[in-house]
Amino acid sequence: MYNLLVVDDEEIAIRGILHGIDWSGLPFANVFSACDAEEARQISRNHPIHIMISDIDMPSENGIELLAWVNEHSPQTETIFLTGHADFKYAQQAIHLDSFDYLLKPIDHELLKNCVERALGSVQEREREEAFGKTYEFYYEQWNKQLPLLIERFWQDVLNERIAVAAEQMEPAFTLYGLPLDMAKPIVPVLISVEEWKRGWSARDEEIMTYALKNAASEILLKEEHGHVIEEQNGMLFALIYEPQEGYEPLLEARCSDYICKTEEYLYCTVSCYIGEPVTVRGLLPSVRLLSEMERCNIGRTGTVFRLSEFRKPGKQSSAAPNLPDLSALIEAGRKQELQLRIEESLGRIQAQQVDHTFLVQYYFGLVHTVFQTLQKKSVSPAEVYPGGEWKDGEQAMKSLASMKAWAQQFAGKAAEMLGKQDRDVSSAIAKVQRYIEANLHLEMNREALAEHVYLNPAYLSRLFRKETGKSLTDFTVDLRLTRAKSELAKSNIKISDIAGSVGYSNFSHFSKLFKKTTGLTPQEYRKKYQDV
């Protein structure tokens, strides 16, 4: 509802407007009147006034001066002027002060009512615009708060091939999320590998610390560069630098070194940075895969800056024949028959061509490299698969294309058959880690020692373990230790401090606090409760 104010120094004029016009059809809660500007100001201070009808020519203070005050103190008010003088100077001042209309006395009541209705429409339209503006401002603020998460999900979709990397999809997304990119502009990916947590974090603690690592990467690696730091769905962190400045390489390498030092000092972890080469958005996924492969193959050096350009120098990788990456996926999946058929088809297509010895050498070493790398990924020793050292039969295999085909089908087929027999739910590496932890609960263990046991990169093992078991290595170890301790407390009279030591807790106070936090009982209370049953 709205309020109307009529201002005139002639009482008869006020009565004529108040009682001569039927206001009942308009949404007015109150119709006020004032005989001068001062009274009008007082009413306006006490009530919101939406429409003001005012005479211009009043003693001591005219309507023009009143409108100037209203514009400052009640800007939502629409003012309609009435005057008995057709003085252009007044009309000019009224227009300058943005009055709604200017009517001459004597006033036709129907004309005045129509003018008020139009002024009321103007008030309502302004209210709608203000309401929309507030709604828009609210959702714009919410959008900006969610924007980093939306951008992260966008890049996750790109890296996991949930959206096609095509201009018709990428360009609108760049615009929507305010990314300073197009299909031709370069992006430099940096893989941030968490190789060691200096403290035994729980899964929740690791998530919190990973969030801290992301923020630190944004501050240290990006700085004035455009870009984002994202967490890929498998837990890997990537800094994406958009359109890096010329000569960025040494600067980025220095920033990565600084980042490694500061995370070691303040966030209690050891990280390495794997710097990619500039690629367009079309080349981002292959580049990220190469960085991931580079990280996975690194089992010796930690807390270091690596460059993809060095990893890809001649001699770093075998010059394998085409389609070997496809074979790796089939070997890992244990699809022996499909694998052998793929080898038959790929070598069969080139049978009619002139094949030289160089090709056979490349194919041989490429296949050995692919098979061994796949076995390493699954934490299987080549000696388990090839106790007779079949991979050394290269001289015989390289005599002809037919010999190579027969050898390759048998050699790769053995690896696929072995991996196909392994547990489908938990990988061989994870099973080995679990067995190792169960057998060595009395020892102090860390992620690096466990990774060394199965010949994997620590960061890669940590992600793989969480993915396949739903727990962090720390949580899994603590659960096993406390389960073993509860069993010993319930069925034996061994000293509690000895039980604590047997499950890897040399500090009895720490063991007791952790036990109570997990079970709600002290070790003594737990023993009494379950031995009395």
Residues in a beta bridge with 275: 190, 307
The answer on pLDDT for 430 being more than 80 is yes
Summarised one tens digit per residue, pLDDT across range 176-195 is 999 999 999 999 999 999 88
What is the Cα–Cα distance from 499 to 437, expressed in whole angstroms?
A: 17
Mean pLDDT of the 470-491 span: 90
Cα three-residue angle 73-79-83, rounded to 5 degrees: 125
SS3 state of residue 311? helix
What is the Cα–Cα distance from 201 to 299, expressed in whole angstroms?
A: 22
User: Final residue of a domain: which of 361, 388, 421?
Assistant: 421
Residue 366 lies in a domain: yes
- The pTM (predicted TM-score) of the whole model is 0.54
Residue 154 lies in a domain: no
State residue 325's pLDDT score.
61
The answer on pLDDT for 40 being more than 60 is yes
Q: Are 274 and 307 in the same domain?
A: yes
Mean pLDDT of the 510-533 span: 87
**What's the domain count of the chain?**
4
State residue 91's pLDDT score.
64
The answer on pLDDT for 359 being more than 60 is yes
CATH code, domain carrying 482: 1.10.10.60
What is the Cα–Cα distance from 347 to 357, expressed in whole angstroms?
A: 14
Residue 155 lies in a domain: no
Give start and end residues of each alpha helix (H) in 105-235: 109-159, 167-176, 203-217
Q: Which of 143-152, 201-210, 271-280, 390-399 bottoms out in mean pLDDT, i.e. has the lowest?
A: 390-399
Q: Are 389 and 448 in the same domain?
A: no
Mean pLDDT of the 405-425 span: 81
Sign of CA dihedral 127, 133, 136, 137: negative
Residue 257: burial class (beta carbons within 10 Å; 0-12, 13-18, 19+): middle
State residue 320's pLDDT score.
38
Residue 101 lies in a domain: yes
Summarised one tens digit per residue, pLDDT across range 281-328 is 999 998 998 898 888 777 668 899 999 887 654 444 433 344 576 788
> Is residue 252 within a helix (H) or strand (E), and if so which, with residue range?
helix 248-266
The answer on pLDDT for 212 being more than 50 is yes
Q: Are 253 and 170 in the same domain?
A: yes
Which residue range(s) make up the domain with 212? 164-311
What is the Cα–Cα distance from 140 to 290, expressed in whole angstroms?
A: 38
The answer on pLDDT for 461 being more than 90 is no
CATH code, domain carrying 203: 3.30.70.270
Residue 135 lies in a domain: no
State residue 33's pLDDT score.
95
Residue with tokens 């981002």: 284
Q: Are 441 and 390 in the same domain?
A: no
Mean pLDDT of the 7-30 span: 91
Residue 205 lies in a domain: yes
**Shortest CA distance to 261 belongs to which of 275, 249, 271, 252?**
271
- More confident call, 160 vs 257: 257
Mean pLDDT of the 60-88 span: 85
Q: Are 304 and 175 in the same domain?
A: yes
- More confident call, 219 vs 64: 219
Residues in a beta bridge with 190: 239, 275
Q: Are 441 and 381 in the same domain?
A: no
User: Final residue of a domain: which of 363, 386, 421?
Assistant: 421
